Amino acid sequence: MEYTQLGRSGLSVSRLCLGTMNFGPETSEADSHTIMDRAHEQGINFFDTANVYGWKKGEGVTEQIIGRWFAGGGGRRERTVLATKLYGSMGDWPNETKLSALNIRRACDDSLRRLQTDYIDLYQMHHVDRATPWDEIWEAMSVLRQQGKIIYVGSSNFAGWHLAKAQEAAHRQHVTGLVSEQSIYNLLTRWVELEVLPAARDYGIGVIPWSPLNGGLLSGVLRKQREGGGSRSTTGRSADALEANRERIDAYEKLCADLGEDPANVGLAWLLHQDGVTAPIVGPRTVAQLDSSLRAVTITLNADVLARLDELFPAPGPHGVKPAPEAYAW
């Protein structure tokens, strides 16, 4: 496994981040524990979760599964860079959601209890809270840091200007601010290249892509169809997206076949080639899926392959692979 620093921080994290959203709803607790054990065996030290994962309001099912794994000892907690999130509703009463100072305090204590740990390495805001002032948010986060309950703060689903507002407010309070931003980013969804990636690079914020394979559309879905395999990518909105992009996805899978690589690993490797990306989040449902994704770290895509991928999946804006404002101006 390769490692890098998380943004401008001194924290070393693996180039793949273990996503745990499937733990509980899709993967049993026993299998979830096996996957986490396997991740450590392979050198993955960066785990991501959220208080709402498990999708049973207020229960924090996935955090509880991770907490019971930590309780097994053997240095599991000490070897893990633990990231969790708050924002989503954890109850039906007011102040059980979003980023008020009150909810930040309560949500952190609840996550610590479920995770069976006394600190969170990376505490992430799952979404922007347009109603809470940044001075209030940073004061609340600073209190948690002073208490030793969190070490770093990150964001998720922020626009570029949200990152700027957050960092400037942090600078006014003389605190570190954000060290990471979790954004949807993959070959089919490249909007972050306009504003989020440039802002993140400028402020020293590491980008952690979620949905790196666009819900499975970049994982070899057409090949799996031909082989008679089922896929979540062939139902609902994913099916519509597949039909809209079938020609491009077919060409992509042929390119991957020519390279002798699995499409999923090429998609992950492409993200690892992007300036500012720290670690894509892989969300395996099985140990086999986790093992397969490890290949991505070792793949080197040459300039010709990267150019071909840009042809198949162009960056947003009329002028090709350029950040804002050049993407839409001059």
Residues assigned a catalytic role:
53
Looking at the chain, list the stretches that DSSP marks H as alpha helix, in order from N- to C-terminal side: 29-41, 61-70, 101-115, 134-146, 160-172, 196-203, 221-226, 236-244, 246-259, 263-272, 287-293, 303-312
With CA atoms as reference, report the closest residue to 115 among 179, 176, 66: 66
Angle, vertex CA 39, rays to CA 38 and CA 44, nearest 5? 155
DSSP assignment letter at 320:
S
- Bridge partners (DSSP) of residue 153 are 123, 178
DSSP assignment letter at 276:
T
Question: Nearest 10 degrees: CA dihedral of 210, 94, 152, 24?
Answer: -50
Spatial distance between the Cα atoms of 5 and 180, rounded to a whole number of angstroms: 11
Distances (CA, A) of 49 to 61, 64, 84, 291: 10, 11, 5, 20
Q: What is the DSSP string of 178-241?
A: EEEEEEE-BTTB-GGGTTHHHHHHHHTPEEEEESTTGGGTTSSHHHHHHTT---GGGSHHHHHH
Question: Nearest 10 degrees: CA dihedral of 155, 159, 164, 165?
Answer: -80
Spatial distance between the Cα atoms of 103 and 205, rounded to a whole number of angstroms: 25
- Reduced to 3 states (helix: H, G, I; strand: E, B; else coil), residue 282 is strand
How far, rounded to the nearest angstrom, does the alpha carbon of residue 316 sit from its chain's CA centroid?
Answer: 21
With CA atoms as reference, report the closest residue to 100 among 74, 136, 57, 135: 136
